Amino acid sequence: MTQGTALDLVAAQNDPAGLVAAAQAAGGTVELTDTEGGLDPWTTAVWLAARTERVRIGLPGPVAAASTEMREKAYESLDLLAGPRLASRREGIEGIDYDGVPASLADVAIAPGDPGYRARKSTYMRGGSPGLVLRPRTPAEVADALAFASRHRHLPLGLRSGGHGVSGRSTNRGGLVIDLGAMNDVEVIDEDRRLVRVGPGATWKQVNVVLDKYDWAIGSGDYGGVGVGGLATAGGIGFLSREHGLTIDALRAVELVLPDGSMIRASAEENQELFWGVRGAGANLGVATAFEFEAAETGEVGWAQLALVSPDLEQTLKQYGEVARTAPRDTTVFFLTGPPQQGQSVVQMYGLVDSADPDTIIERLSPFAATGLLARQQVVVTRYADVMAQAADVGPGGHHGRGEPVARSGFLPVLTDEFARDVVELLDSGQVYFFQLRHMGGAIADTAPDATAFAHRTPEFQVTALGGDQDALNRVWGRLAHHFDGLYLSFETDLRPERLHDAFPPATLSRLRALKRRYDPSNLLRDNFNIDPEVEK
């Protein structure tokens, strides 16, 4: 409980002005207790927050008569209204040893009821209510966090870098989260070799601000607010991938804390098999604390945002597939649409041409623009860092996602007429509100499928669908399953065991199981796309 001067909420019923005066005279924290016959402490807290400026307000424990959702909303509302002056009692989760939080992390650990909890409980798209968020700042503190987690194996465990992930595995309800957001340094360590050292908590927006000073870039996804750690261990399909490969293809070394607390470096020269596995299945093997990338030389680029109206989505999809298939490597255009309205579909295409020449940019983009009725266009010559900078800064307020969006993912070897027809049926079902094709090919396929744990090197597209109900989405998505060969971990929320075999071909999965048995035999890192070390196939 927060210690402070207790206020008499019984006497205050007849002397509101005296209550304010007593709170101001306390000079620090005032303690509100739920006393029989007295004022409601929560209502009083809001009232005091409005009538004082510096008084910190200590609250009693959880509201007994309220549901979990009501309590969370009450905490959040008062936290917003009173800001850092809220000094409520921690609402502990049964089964978490709060007194046993490592000393190195105690000053920054956050639990329900703590100031700042609202900023750390959710992610970009998903609401959460973890019982404890540990926020290490060094590899040694990561080891301490993992040791604490190993004593709480009965609870979910989430790893978080930027907190953007669609899959939702970086928050939970009632479990633990290891939040690496404070480990966000970006440092050029070898200018001649274009080597950059990056912390897992940095965002790609932050990374490319630094690299832009050197006319460099590291390709990532399509949004600068994504954290480095999650993407750089899963793959990284973005606007520069067709020219320079996936994000993991630019990785030259990674430093990890293993589940047993030991620290290790992996690269092409040391711990090569671990380095292979980290590039595609890293969340299963350890917690990455630093990445070393080789940046690519990148000047001005053409950035395009096109909005088209299509009265025949099937035809537009087929034409887009043909144009994308023959596009030069310097051109990458993603395709996004949703359910049709009044017999027409709105299609958004956005992407990049790695050229500063306006004529080249127009030549590359015109075939894409001709696949529908062009309603709006914005094409500019800019810097890659500026493309990433379109992401909003998260700031100290954190992410405030709500609900539990669900997603399915697939790698599409080739966009056929039949696939285009089935997509129209999928969108007509009403179970999908977001449908995206990510343009692949080019340099992605230059790397052999067995060179990294990310083995799906040859598809034309990566496909994602978002919906509101997992079972309903699974049913309609299942009708497209025969078109796909594999899936992308970052955009998949279906955790049925068979999805693991979609994510990794048999030979890849066999190697990963061997790595799991070596580096995480007790399966501490299990609340992701889990590769269970005890399963043989």
Q: What is the mean pLDDT of each run of 10 residues along the chain (537 residues)?
A: 75 82 84 79 81 81 57 63 59 89 97 88 92 98 98 96 88 96 98 98 97 97 95 97 98 98 98 98 95 98 98 98 98 98 96 98 98 97 97 86 92 98 97 98 98 98 97 97 96 92 96 97 93 86
User: Both tokens of residue 198?
Assistant: 């990056």
Joined together, the tokens standing for residue 228 give 């480095």
Cβ contacts of 151 within 8 Å, gap of 6 or more: 97, 100
Instruction: Read off the tokens for 442.
Output: 């080019």
pTM here is: 0.87
456-467 as b/e: b if 16+ CB within 10 A: bbebbbbbbbbb
Amino acid at 242: R
Q: What is the pLDDT of residue 63?
A: 55
Do the Cβ atoms of 154 and 115 come closer than 8 Å? no
The pLDDT of residue 25 is 87
Query: How high is the pLDDT of residue 69?
Result: 61
Beta strand 132-134 pairing with 176-179: parallel
Q: Which amino acid is at 42?
A: W
Q: Are 529 and 503 in contact (CB under 8 A)?
A: yes
Q: CA–CA separation, 454 vs 461, rounded Å?
A: 15
Question: Phi then psi for 64, rounded to 5 degrees?
Answer: -60, -40
Query: CB 97: neighbour CB atoms within 10 A?
Result: 11
Q: Which residues of 478-487 are buried (b: 16+ CB within 10 A; e: fewer)?
A: eebeebbebb
Looking at residue 78, its pLDDT comes to 62
Give ∠ CA 474-479-482 in degrees, rounded to 5. 110
How far apart CA 302 and CA 363 sit, in angstroms, is 11
Contact 227, 182 (CB under 8 A): no
Take residue 525 and report the two structure tokens written for it: 């890192």
Question: Of 412, 457, 459, 458, which is closest to residue 435 (Cα–Cα)?
Answer: 412
For residue 210, which amino acid is it?
A: V
Give Cα 172 distance to the centre of its chain: 13
Q: How far is it, in rounded angstroms, from Cα 277 to Cα 280? A: 6
Strand order in the sheet with 287-294: 186-190, 195-198, 287-294, 251-257, 263-267
User: For the chain, how many residues are written?
Assistant: 537
Q: What is the pLDDT of residue 1?
A: 40
